[in-house]
Amino acid sequence: MKKGEEGGEEEVSLQTLSKKMDDFAKARDWEKYHSPRNLLLAMVGEVGELSEIFQWKGEVARGCPDWKEEEKVHLGEELSDVLLYLVRLSDACGVDLGKAALRKIELNAIKYPAPKQTDDHCVGDGEHSSGNIKLNEEH
């Protein structure tokens, strides 16, 4: 990662990861093995390795505060493996992963609208139990 102007680290784009993974595969003549099916199966294997990390831990608090540093490093490595295979798979399938993800977020916002506030209560789940709240209904 590159250092930003204020000493922080710059965010890494999907395009940067895609280019680095493409260069990595080309340098090793691995492109012939990177069919969508093979990449998907490799990613599933990495998801299995990621799952093993959590397998016997029970519920884990956000941020993994009780984890040792080496456990967090290992977690980062396995998360990275999954991400890198996902980026490579999206490239192999001709899908712009960034655009697809943004579109999916928009679709989810429509499918699962945020709760609407009323004077005395909040309605959740995009559903309502009384006739007082009407969503997109014509009269």
124: in domain: no
Which pLDDT score is estimated for 124?
55
Residue 47 resides in a domain:
yes
Residue 105 lies in a domain: no
pLDDT in tens, the chain (139 residues): 444 445 567 899 999 999 999 999 999 999 999 999 999 999 999 999 999 999 999 999 999 999 999 999 999 999 999 999 999 999 999 999 999 999 999 999 999 999 988 766 555 555 544 444 444 444 3
Residue 132 lies inside a defined structural domain of this protein:
no
State residue 5's pLDDT score.
Answer: 47
Residue 59 counted as domain residue: yes
What is the extent of the structural domain holding 30? 14-95
Number of domains in the chain: 1
The pLDDT assigned to 118 comes to 75
DSSP line for 42-95: HHHHHHHHHHHHHTTS-S--TT-TTS-HHHHHHHHHHHHHHHHHHHHHHHHTT-
CATH number of the structural domain spanning residue 23: 1.10.287.1080
